[in-house]
Structure 1
Amino acid sequence: MSLNGQIFSLPREIKVLIGVFVIVLSIGFFSGLLFVGETSSANPNGIEEQYLGNEHDEDAKVMKFKKSEKEMLSLVHSHVLSMSIIFFLLALIVSITKLKRQLKMFLMVEPLVSVVLTFGGLYFLWTGILWMKYIVMFSGTLMTLSFLLSVLIILKQLLQKTV
């Protein structure tokens, strides 16, 4: 059974449900990114400071302390679990869109790999492997771009009559 393009044959009420779900999911995802921007300045040094603290910087506007192991394990645990569910559900929807096989596979698998790299990278950064901040930044950016592209493709194909 081929799933490619099945999104076009879905009943209207299922298309509406998927569309509303993807929009609400996007609001949650991008509001989370706004939070990341506020807490870490969305750059590698800001990421390092967020998790390792800045108590050595006497000129810091906001004093930050190194996260505890409990905080880090909680952050990694909750984000890996929740984001794996988010990206699994999004991948199921992407699986029924009409796309070239390679692009579809990339959009379905890449965000899950990036979840592991991003949050695993944060944990390794916290343990003192400072170059992981670049992996975190790269994988987080790639995860976000994959999410955005998947959402745009889904919404576009939901609005199309047929191909």
Structure 2
Amino acid sequence: MIYNGLLNTFPSEIKLFIGAFVVILSIGFYSGLLFVNETTESNPGGIEESYLGNEQDEDAEVMKFKKSKREMLTTVHTHILSMSFIFFLLGALVWITKLPKKLKLFLTVEPFLSVILTFGGIYMLWSGMLWMKYVVMVSGMLMTLTFTMSVLVVLLQLFKKQATT
């Protein structure tokens, strides 16, 4: 089966449908990042404070408490499930773009590793492995990078004029 470059051969109305999906998916993804920045200030200390609280810090402007086990399980469960669907659907679109197979493999498999490292790392951080905040931060950045690259590839190839032969 030939699927490399298949995306560009779709009719314009299907391309528009896929483009609208990818744009809305991106709005959801990046608004989630705004929330992460708001709650963690995008730094390791903020990540730790978000899940473990800051009750010991007398100078804290906003008091935060350690998340309960139920809150942690809900966060990890919902994020792993939803992010898996996001990266599966986006990955399916990446596989029908025209790119080298190794790059497609990286863009479509790496996010699943990052999802496990990010949200498993958050749970492990909450469990007391404080160094996991660095794993969470790096894997979250890598997940965002692969998401962004995948979205750009799909959108650029969706609306690229098909070469006539």
1:100 paired to 2:110: no
Q: CA deviation at 1:2?
A: 1.9
Return the alpha-carbon distance in structure 2 between the equivalents of residues 29 and 54 of structure 1: 27
Q: CA deviation at 1:19?
A: 0.2
Q: Which runs of 5+ in 2 are unaligned?
A: none
Aligned counterpart, 1:28: 28
Aligned counterpart, 1:151: 151
- DSSP-derived class of the 1:66 partner: coil
Aligned amino acid, residue 137 of structure 1: M
Return the alpha-carbon distance in structure 2 between the equivalents of residues 66 and 139 of structure 1: 22
What are the within-5 Å matches in structure 2 for residues 28-67 of structure 1? 28-67=28-67
Return the alpha-carbon distance in structure 2 between the equivalents of residues 119 and 2 of structure 1: 35
Q: CA deviation at 1:162?
A: 1.9
Return the alpha-carbon distance in structure 1 between the equivalents of residues 29 and 132 of structure 2: 23
Q: CA deviation at 1:65?
A: 0.5
RMSD (Å), alpha carbons: 0.6
The superposition leaves residues 94-146 of structure 1 with CA deviations (integer Å, 9 ceiling, x where unpaired) of 00000011111000111111101100000000000001000000000000000
Aligned counterpart, 2:71: 71
Return the alpha-carbon distance in structure 1 between the equivalents of residues 44 and 87 of structure 2: 24
Return the alpha-carbon distance in structure 2 between the equivalents of residues 122 and 162 of structure 1: 44
What are the within-5 Å matches in structure 2 for residues 119-158 of structure 1? 119-158=119-158
- DSSP-derived class of the 2:148 partner: helix
Return the alpha-carbon distance in structure 2 between the equivalents of residues 77 and 41 of structure 1: 23
1:19 paired to 2:19: yes
Aligned amino acid, residue 162 of structure 1: Q
Return the alpha-carbon distance in structure 2 between the equivalents of residues 119 and 87 of structure 1: 15
Aligned amino acid, residue 34 of structure 1: L
State the TM-score, normalized to the length of structure 1. Answer: 0.99
State the TM-score, normalized to the length of structure 2. Answer: 0.97
Q: CA deviation at 1:45?
A: 0.7
Identity among equivalent positions (%) equals 64
Aligned amino acid, residue 44 of structure 1: P
Aligned amino acid, residue 68 of structure 2: S
Q: CA deviation at 1:152?
A: 0.5
